Structure 1
Amino acid sequence: MNVFDQENFVPPFELRDHEEQTEAWYNNPARQENRRLAEENLRLKKLLRENGISWDRRLTLDLADPTGSRGTWADLAKKSRRSSRSERSGQRLPSLPVEIILFILEYSLLSSHPIIDPLSKLNAHALLPEEKKISKDQIAINFLATCKAYHAEGTRFLWKNNSFVFTDCLALQNFRTLGLEHRKHMTHITMRIIAKYYDEDPDREHRAPYPTSNPPRKPLRLRVIPRVPDDTLARRGFRSYTWLQVVDFLDVLRPPFDPDHDTAKPRPRLFPALESLRIDLVNFPSDFLTAPSGPEMHALTAHDLSMSLNELQLTGLPECHWGSDLASHLGRMVRDDGLFLKTDSSYVLSNRLRKQPDVEWEPRAIRAWKVLAEEYLQSKKKKKASSLSNSGGHHGHHSHHGSVKIAAVPTEEGAPETTWRERRTLWKRVPVSRDSEERTWVEFDRTTGTAIPREEYADPDTDSYDPDELVCHHCQMMHSPYDDDY
């Protein structure tokens, strides 16, 4: 089959997989650690019993008792004092200055590549071939086990100096066990959200449109996770875990529970200082998936996580109605004058994960028109009409933020001088390409939020600004030029 049959295919229905949820509950870090400690305790007690040794120094076991449960108790009034080998020998081992040791410790715990799924078991299907090789000896993690002082300092270096990629929402959930003193310094993370597909029929093959803007001739053969059929009335068949997986990833960013937190203050989010977020959607084909969950996504992006980022990078977005709807939701997580970047897929997964060629970003300034709206209100002396400035760009009766005023993204330092006289613009530093760390200055039109094309700089007719273009004829207020308002 060289061409995808767009008319006769059966789309997967969206559903969380119950088997994965029950496995995640069983493998919860706390329960897993309790099981490990209980098994280790029983194993050590059995070993001591078999050798006639008590696990309590006050109890002397009766060797004649085959059960190993009887003995005599003794009163140990004196405590023995242990001395180190260096004290007994009277010699001091050679040592380096503390500053040199800390420098070595920091260098050994710094990775040149992002650390994938820390605190969790790696999923081989979510890694590139080169990432599998790097992950084995990425950092000298055993350095932390040398002593308590190095463990404390090394842990701080580990979480402060490295960048992280999460391929599973469970790996992100395990970050809740990390102390706030380490999480509060993280300003950027990457989510690699790989679509999952399930089916009870192992012989049925599923294909989908290639999830890139420049697809090859053949459609993509999906990697389907097999499931065992049963006789219940549970929904079965070809199903997907895509949009709900995005919801589950974002849901983890909500404030986690902390028993030591002051109840009189609001709990901080999982990453309180998070400024930029990159989301790589993998295997999200266009015009293939069913409708996403609108209410859940809206509750997260427009309320709980609303206007919390300075920059959002999004790759692999489907070029269809559902993809545009997702972009509209995710754009609400960015503050006014923030940067929203989207482009083609970074990865495609079939039998293995493949990296796609590097491409340029499609940048957009989020709600850059709000500054113009504030100026329009002041010029018209409509001080009572504060609903616009407090509503995040919505009408007053659709206010999402009430009386909360969230500041816009600060102006970046070192921006070039604009050549426009009338046109209102905004300078932002934009990455050169999807996989590049280098950035260049780009000038955005505040009216549209889009980057100004080069050819418009040579056209003097484009140097104009008419505030009436954004004024609503019904309420005489400025609104977003876009219906989705992102």
Structure 2
Amino acid sequence: MNPAWEVRDQADQAEDYYSHPLRAKNRELEEENFKLKRILRKNGITWPNKYGIHQTVSRKRTRSSTSNASIPYLPPEIMLKILSYSLASRYPIIDPLGETKKEHLTPDERGRPNQIAIHFLATCKAYYEEGKKMFWTQNTFTFTSVQSVKLFSEVDASYRRLVKQANLRVIARFYDDEDRPHRLPRDHHEQVNGRPRLRVTRRAKEPTLARRGFRTYAWYQLVDFLEALLPPHIPGHDHATPRPRLMPNLEVMRIDLVNFGDDMFQYPPAQLHDVASHQLGCSLNELIVTGLPGDDPGSRTGTELSGLLKDDGLMITHAPTLIALKQGGLRVLQGSAFVKKVVRSMRPVTGVNHHHHDDHPDYFDEFPPAPPEEGDPPYSQYLSCRTIWKRVPIWIEQPHKRQWVLFDRVSGLPWEDVRDEALMFDFIDDEDEDDGIMCENCGEIHPGAILAEELMDDLYDDEI
């Protein structure tokens, strides 16, 4: 199958624009309604709700008037604990402000009942203020469309700063102006039998070759997702200071690429490098990418996405975890094996001028590396300037369960993999194991020093 032509489909773009809420008009109407209700409340006049039932306006109660109420008294600590349980979901909240399409959900997600008691926030102003903080800090969020990410800018900046993790679900869309089947590759995932048919949207055939044929909205969609995380407009912002991003304190991000098969797409556009390495560069501590194709365009995309990470950041690439079905909806794919790497972790040592940081003494002041892991790692005889400890998830579906892994700073790969590969190709002999090898980073001889550069290149190519 020839690679699809990458394009932003005009029909989908027009639908997103048509469905976009008129924010300015809504804000104007909400402010007007609020003023009218406040006037009515002051004059003791009731107003009908959306069900046509008139609400009775009660006068403001004082502390003394509520002290004899029949409602049982609970200490504030207990109420806050109840509030915390009510507003924390065990599952990620999907498209918190936008409408989610059924074809973007798995059967389990479609069948879930309400996971949070959001109406708790309407109890009183104190619970509303405290509850909003708990809601944005104790939950994780999954965005299935670019529009849902853009709508997140409606959240107040003080709450957007509390978001530490986010999940982007990028589902490749396909279009064709002819009635012909298109399928995923046979080796897309070990749990997928045969070659599943893609869900292709039929478009009218136009009288020009410029817009004919098989088209896809895949890499451009990934670019649009990332661009939606850029700083939104803030009225009255001081232009002398940088504008904060949509989620200024985002530390961990997971990107699920759905139906991104091998040899199906062309190379990603140049905008991906701009937004990942420049606009949002050096901003994350950890990045998980699932479903990345194993062909050359997929390798190029993985390299570009690594620009999102800070120095010493952890990048995990995993097999596809979801597949979009032709009849609609998503199917969950199981798997536990993944490839892990640390990014740009090599450090310069005084007197050794081989690293690009030497040319920029203030580099780490402007772009600080990922913070060191908390806790005490186990002992290793290979711990040196050449290695770094990281806590890596045992299973990406449960990222809170982690284990210590020692990484090689130069190649970025786990040290055990580098050492085993070196022993296999006789780059290390018994004497080297005892005496150590000259380290290319510091020039000293110690265990865990640099291996042959040819081996590093081979390992890097194999992992990519």
TM-score range, shorter chain: 0.7 to 0.9
Q: Structure 1 pair 465/334, CA: closer, same or farther in 2 (3 Å)?
A: farther
Match of 1:475 in 2: none
Q: Percent identity?
A: 37
Deviations 1:194-227 (A, max 9, x none): 11111233x3222131463536451120011233
Match of 2:175 in 1: 198
Counterparts of 1:21-40 in structure 2, within 5 Å, are 21-31=13-23, 34=26
Listed as ranges, the gaps of 5+ residues in structure 1 are: 1-8, 42-56, 58-81, 393-400, 472-478
Give the CA deviation at 1:29: 2.7
Counterparts of 1:215-294 in structure 2, within 5 Å, are 216-229=192-205, 235-293=211-269
The total of aligned residue pairs comes to 412
Give the CA deviation at 1:110: 1.0
Match of 1:427 in 2: 389
Q: Structure 1 pair 470/312, CA: closer, same or farther in 2 (3 Å)?
A: farther
Match of 1:359 among 330, 336, 353: 336
Q: Is the 8 A contact 1:109 1:157 kept in 2?
A: yes
Q: Structure 1 pair 347/95, CA: closer, same or farther in 2 (3 Å)?
A: same
1:321 aligns with 2:296: yes
Larger radius of gyration, structure 1 or 2?
1
Letter in 1 for 2:411: T
Give the CA deviation at 1:335: 1.3
1:311 aligns with 2:274: no
Match of 1:446 in 2: 409
SS at structure 2 position matched to 1:108: helix
Match of 1:164 in 2: 141
Q: Structure 1 pair 232/465, CA: closer, same or farther in 2 (3 Å)?
A: same
Distance in 2 (alpha carbons) for counterparts of 1:125 and 1:449: 38
Match of 1:408 among 369, 389, 397: 369
Match of 1:330 among 305, 309, 333: 305
Q: Structure 1 pair 360/10, CA: closer, same or farther in 2 (3 Å)?
A: closer
Distance in 2 (alpha carbons) for counterparts of 1:360 and 1:144: 41
Q: Structure 1 pair 422/143, CA: closer, same or farther in 2 (3 Å)?
A: closer
Match of 1:71 in 2: none
Deviations 1:300-333 (A, max 9, x none): 1221111111111111010100000001101111
Deviations 1:161-220 (A, max 9, x none): 11111111111111111111101111111111111111233x322213146353645112
Q: Is the 8 A contact 2:257 2:291 kept in 1?
A: yes
Distance in 1 (alpha carbons) for counterparts of 2:283 and 2:437: 30
Q: Structure 1 pair 36/355, CA: closer, same or farther in 2 (3 Å)?
A: farther
1:119 aligns with 2:97: yes
Distance in 2 (alpha carbons) for counterparts of 1:310 and 1:177: 26
Match of 1:15 in 2: 7
Q: Structure 1 pair 34/436, CA: closer, same or farther in 2 (3 Å)?
A: closer
Q: Is the 8 A contact 2:94 2:142 kept in 1?
A: yes
1:155 aligns with 2:117: no
Distance in 1 (alpha carbons) for counterparts of 2:191 and 2:79: 52
Q: Is the 8 A contact 2:103 2:330 kept in 1?
A: yes
SS at structure 1 position matched to 2:213: coil
Counterparts of 1:346-385 in structure 2, within 5 Å, are 346-350=321-325, 351=327, 352-369=329-346, 371=347, 374-375=348-349, 378-380=350-352
Distance in 2 (alpha carbons) for counterparts of 1:389 and 1:96: 63
Deviations 1:407-440 (A, max 9, x none): 2223223122221277821111111123233111
Deviations 1:82-114 (A, max 9, x none): 754989x99845253361433322221111111
1:297 aligns with 2:263: no
Letter in 2 for 1:306: G
SS at structure 1 position matched to 2:127: helix
Counterparts of 1:440-479 in structure 2, within 5 Å, are 440-453=403-416, 456=419, 461=432, 464-468=436-440
Q: Structure 1 pair 232/439, CA: closer, same or farther in 2 (3 Å)?
A: same
Q: Structure 1 pair 151/442, CA: closer, same or farther in 2 (3 Å)?
A: same
Distance in 1 (alpha carbons) for counterparts of 2:89 and 2:258: 25
Q: Structure 1 pair 422/312, CA: closer, same or farther in 2 (3 Å)?
A: closer
Distance in 2 (alpha carbons) for counterparts of 1:308 and 1:462: 38
| Between 263-272 and 143-152, the greater mean CA deviation after superposition | 143-152
Match of 2:379 in 1: 417
Give the CA deviation at 1:386: 8.6
Q: Is the 8 A contact 2:289 2:318 kept in 1?
A: yes
Q: Structure 1 pair 409/35, CA: closer, same or farther in 2 (3 Å)?
A: closer
Listed as ranges, the gaps of 5+ residues in structure 2 are: 34-42, 44-56, 424-428, 444-452
**TM-score scaled by length of structure 2:** 0.78
Q: Structure 1 pair 241/470, CA: closer, same or farther in 2 (3 Å)?
A: farther
SS at structure 1 position matched to 2:211: coil
